[in-house]
Chains A and B, each alone.
Chain A
Amino acid sequence: MLKTFEYLQPKTLEEALSMMKSCKGSFRLIAGGTDVIVQIRSGKTPPDYLISLKALNKELGILEEKEEGLDIGALVTHRILEKSPTIQKEYAALYDGVSQVGSVQVRNVGTIGGNVCSSLPSADSAAPLLILGAKLNIVGDREESICIEEFFTGPGENILKNNQILKSIFIPKLPKNSNSAYEKLGRRKAMEIPVVGAASYIQVDKKTGICLDARIALASSAPTPIRCYKAEQTLVGQSAEKEIFVKAGKLAAQEANPRTSFRATEEYRRSVIPVLVERSLSRSLNRIKK
């Protein structure tokens, strides 16, 4: 049995937003609940109200492929993304990330919106979304779309206000001759949060092999998931091959700001970031070649 709270289940997004406004006392939104229930059980911050988004599947649970890209409702589970052929083929880094969240049972329930809104530096979906150019669709007093880079503000913190809900995530269609990958290093091979995670996206000129565009992002390497802009820049205009990937990896490690915790030291994280970045880039490149 958990600490006492009142459970509210709005039927529409509008109702949810108005409940959030009228709530007298603290509340938490709950989607899959895989993080929230554990936190309530640990008793640290029991809220007065739990506002469940489970009934909002029609508004928040749609995975839709459009001309210009992919719309992912915040309530779409990791498991649905993992099994989507579109994600597997066209947004491979996201597949790499979401297919390694917790275990099947957690992925069946846990949502992409929840993973992003928990805003942990170790979130497996965050680094892939960062390199895929994701935009977050947020509703509150008004609806707005922001780049995911602007979302995270600290460990477990983001820009969402008390009256806002993450509605969906949009990922633009990738151009030709581009691909992505996410490399995760954990202590064991499953049920793991990353010691370091590295996502990459590159686009190459098929004829010359020159890198036309690149994005790199890291998990568990700073207080938030981060982009590594200097590392990206060093790739553009260069021949896409191991040598330059290694250089990018080293730059990424310089841009990172990892911390020492009982899970791993700062030094260790710094020394594996270049390796993971290089491996991620190589895998992205191999995927283009295929």
Chain B
Amino acid sequence: MAYRVVGRSVARNDVIDKVTGRAKYAPDVVIPHMLHGKILFSPYASARIINIDTSLAKSLLGVRAVITGKDVPYTYGSVIKDRPIFAQDVVRYQGEPIVGIVADSEVIAEEALNLIKIEYEEKEPILDPFEAMKADSSLLHADLGSYQHNKITYPEAETNICSHYKLRKGNVDDAFEKSDYIFEGEFSSQMIQHAFIEPIVAVADADNVTKRITIWSTACNPFVIRKELSSAFNIPMGKIRMIVNNVGGSFGGKAYSKIEPHVAALSLACSAPVRLALTREEVFNLIVRGPGHFKIKTGLMKDGTIVARKIETVWDTGAYAECGPVIARNSGHTAAGPYRIPNVKIDAYCVYTNKNIAGAFRGYGVQEATWAVESHMDDIAREMDIDPYDLRKKNILHYGDEGATGQIVEGTGLEQCLDAAWEAVNRKEIKRKSGSKLMGRGMACVHKATLAPSVSSAIIKLSEDGTATLLTSTTEQGQGATTVMAQIIAEELGLPYEEIYVSGTDTDYTPYDTTTTASRSTFSMGNAVLLAARDIKEQLMIIAAEYIGVDKDELTFEFGKIKVSSQPEKSYTIKEIVSKYYGLNGTLIGRGLYRPDSVPEDSETGQSTKITPFWMYGTQAAEVEIDIETGEINVLKLVAAHDMGSAINPMNCRQQLEGAALQGIGNTLYEEIKLNDKGITVNPNFHDYKIPTAMDSVEIESILIESQQKDGPYGAKGVGEPALAPTGPAIRNAILDALNIGLNHLPLTQEKILAAIEENKEKLEGC
């Protein structure tokens, strides 16, 4: 079916504001008479607080409030409620908030900070998750067993294991017995950071008498945060108002409460508006993607058929759970790879340590699991002397197959992605060797679930001039959601795309949306918006029938025009109908509520007939060259083929693939948050935490596969996250192809590559 607006690369509806500098972000919010907050963060990774003396700070001119854990003895956390707003006697990681200050200016607040005297009893931090898992390890959270937690978290009381997720399918032990070949591998992924360019900033305006709190922040799931605040402060949700305009990049790093509880506490303490802006260093210490460790064992038959896979993963989640347990669980959905394997056993342990807190990062659990399983696939292929493409092709999930979680595959896009990416990277012959440089090619596949259950709701206001405004709580973080939503309305109602306006998020006015994460917006909010547009259409038909004086059944709606079957020559515009109906002024209000289908998992086996409303699929292929004298690596080309169901805005889709691909190159080659032996970050800045610059950009070919998601709006599903995950293993497998050396531990620095070359000189012969 041909669409007029959907499927076209219309210019994003936020782009003019962004190129002119008019777009407003949370750091740009200014409230008259706003005060400034500052937080004193722990300099130790593990300590007991003996005494806090704030008297000097309090007496400094210009200081309005000084608060500690004693003033706000509340905890928060959606997944596990384990986290104090300000430390309660115990410090569990460097960067733990201990004291909050409000002053007339940032400089005074900082001065006051230096006047606070804290006596700590420093303790040896637990930095190794494997040590933390041992029975005799000291406990970060002695009360883990009594903490509130959500239904998909499986804490083990009296241990540091805050969740143990299990997936059981078939019988792996029997299957290994019968396998012709068994391969094992160990892999790890490092601690990295999102490095969004907009720092984390929040402004709160709260009143201590009415307990009304308004917060402007960089959050990407304001309703989740509203709930966390409501529970922590014991204030009804309706009294908490979250406002989010443009977000300057998130990649999951601005999901869940970040500094919102702190800024709320500070504002409540002085009943005045307070701005809390973190420095880049503080942002680096606030949230990271935690390290992951993987052990994989695979059984195959002689012909390359995979019959069993067993995986054990350990997730180093840091001092508090954040969404770590969900990361561990979600990795389980992906870890077996997008392959047809009848026997799968997965154990994922999410473990507390005295490290930086691990949170969501663009396809959480999936990036890391994909790194391990897709690297392992190429190792198997090499050992068995099968082409890695053939090994994947043989085992890949097809329509009707049952995946590891027990869900039947409904789409067909994966195989198309595999073929398209591999064809694109092999279009030209490569020179395998040139001077000190060796070249190679590699690939990796990905499959990813989205969030379930979840809810999206939308309201469309149709004005009397025929223009429409969408009220939605999907936050615009750069992914282009507001554009896609406007395209859906324009298509469904036949209105000009340019005349659809999309609101920012304001929980007082815009309706509920679970979260802008998990690549769920196009599908979930898209469906809600579509329903709201249809609701408008339905109302239009009723009033049109009344206005024209015919029966409603005689009317048809054709791209913005209402036609009457008995008067084929005539048609009525939306504007005409609405303005005539109301006489003077008025709006129609359309409502849409969408709750995608899903079935909860069995807590012992992880099995569900529908763990996720849809699966995302993709394949990436890389061509690399390695300088064997220095270990330097150049990615010459990267191909990203992904199934997006259908591309509502092809340019937006390509933006997602290109951006994720280069982010993946950074994650793979240069990026790592380094801690010293005391657990303190040594590189919390943009010169030593290295993200790719324009000079590091590479040729990226994006390929859009459109398999038509049957229940997606216009056949669409998500595309935001999956392109990050396969980048790493594709590069790693290209190195394997070039050097005959498999590198299993991220990041793949030049130093690591050179060391591996020197250790494996004999393997290079013949390359």
Q: How far is the CA of A185 from the CA of B627 in the complex (A)?
A: 12
Chain B residues closer than 8 Å to A272, beta-carbon distance: 629-631, 754
Q: Once the chains bind, are A188 and B751 in contact (CB under 8 Å)?
A: no
Task: Identify the B interface with A (CB < 8 A).
Answer: 105-107, 629-632, 670, 674, 682-683, 687-688, 690, 692-696, 749-751, 754-755, 758
Interface string of A250-278 (1 = CB under 8 A from B): 00000000000011110110011001100
Q: Once the chains bind, are B695 and A189 in contact (CB under 8 Å)?
A: yes
The 5 residue pairs across chains A and B that have the minimum distance between CB atoms: A189-B695, A190-B695, A268-B751, A190-B693, A275-B629
Q: Once the chains bind, are B751 and A264 in contact (CB under 8 Å)?
A: yes
Q: How far is the CA of A263 from the CA of B755 in the complex (A)?
A: 15
Q: How far is the CA of A35 from the CA of B138 in the complex (A)?
A: 44
Closest to B692 in A: A188
Chain B residues closer than 8 Å to A191, beta-carbon distance: 687, 690, 693
Chain A residues closer than 8 Å to B693, beta-carbon distance: 103, 188-191
Closest to A192 in B: B690
Chain A residues closer than 8 Å to B632, beta-carbon distance: 185
Q: How far is the CA of A189 from the CA of B670 in the complex (A)?
A: 11
Closest Cβ of chain B: how far from A270's Cβ, in Å?
11
Which residues of chain A (1-46) have a CB below 8 Å from chain B?
1, 3-4
For the residues of B in contact with A, the DSSP-based class is loop
Q: How far is the CA of A192 from the CA of B686 in the complex (A)?
A: 10
**Would you call A187 an interface residue if the criterion is a C-beta within 8 Å of the partner chain's C-beta atoms?**
yes
Complex A-B: 5 CB contacts under 8 Å: A1-B106, A3-B107, A189-B696, A264-B751, A272-B631
Task: Identify the A interface with B (CB < 8 A).
Answer: 1, 3-4, 103, 185, 187-193, 262-265, 267-268, 271-272, 275-276
Chain A residues closer than 8 Å to B682, beta-carbon distance: 262
Closest Cβ of chain A: how far from B197's Cβ, in Å?
14
Q: Once the chains bind, are A187 and B754 in contact (CB under 8 Å)?
A: no
Q: How far is the CA of A41 from the CA of B346 in the complex (A)?
A: 48
Chain A residues closer than 8 Å to B750, beta-carbon distance: 185, 187, 268
Q: Once the chains bind, are A262 and B683 in contact (CB under 8 Å)?
A: yes
Closest to A102 in B: B687
Chain B residues closer than 8 Å to A267, beta-carbon distance: 755
Q: Once the chains bind, are A1 and B107 in contact (CB under 8 Å)?
A: yes
Chain B residues closer than 8 Å to A187, beta-carbon distance: 670, 690, 749-750
Knowing that A4-B107, A188-B693, A268-B751 touch, tell me 16 more A-B residue pairs with CB under 8 angstroms: A1-B106, A1-B107, A185-B632, A188-B670, A188-B690, A188-B692, A189-B695, A190-B693, A191-B687, A192-B690, A262-B674, A264-B751, A265-B751, A268-B631, A268-B750, A272-B629
Chain A residues closer than 8 Å to B631, beta-carbon distance: 268, 272
Closest to A43 in B: B110
Closest to B281 in A: A42
Q: Most B CB atoms within 10 A — which of A103, A193, A265, A268? A: A268
Closest Cβ of chain A: how far from B478's Cβ, in Å?
22
* A262 and B688 in contact, given A1-B105, A189-B693, A191-B693 (Cβ under 8 angstroms): yes
Q: Once the chains bind, are B683 and A185 in contact (CB under 8 Å)?
A: no
Q: Once the chains bind, are B630 and A188 in contact (CB under 8 Å)?
A: no
Q: How far is the CA of A40 from the CA of B692 in the complex (A)?
A: 27
Q: How far is the CA of A151 from the CA of B749 in the complex (A)?
A: 34
Q: How far is the CA of A193 from the CA of B683 in the complex (A)?
A: 14
Closest to A185 in B: B630
Chain A residues closer than 8 Å to B105, beta-carbon distance: 1
Chain B residues closer than 8 Å to A265, beta-carbon distance: 751
Q: How far is the CA of A272 from the CA of B106 in the complex (A)?
A: 46
Checking B629, B683, B694, B758 against A190 with a beta-carbon cut-off of 8 angstroms, the contacting residue is B694
Q: How far is the CA of A185 from the CA of B633 in the complex (A)?
A: 12
Q: Most B CB atoms within 10 A — which of A187, A271, A276? A: A187
Q: How far is the CA of A189 from the CA of B106 in the complex (A)?
A: 36
Closest to A278 in B: B629
Closest Cβ of chain B: how far from A258's Cβ, in Å?
12
Chain A residues closer than 8 Å to B629, beta-carbon distance: 272, 275
Q: How far is the CA of A271 from the CA of B750 in the complex (A)?
A: 12
Q: Once the chains bind, are A275 and B630 in contact (CB under 8 Å)?
A: yes
Closest Cβ of chain A: how far from B667's Cβ, in Å?
13
Chain B residues closer than 8 Å to A189, beta-carbon distance: 693, 695-696
Q: How far is the CA of A192 from the CA of B691 in the complex (A)?
A: 11
Closest Cβ of chain A: how far from B87's Cβ, in Å?
23
Q: How far is the CA of A190 from the CA of B750 in the complex (A)?
A: 16
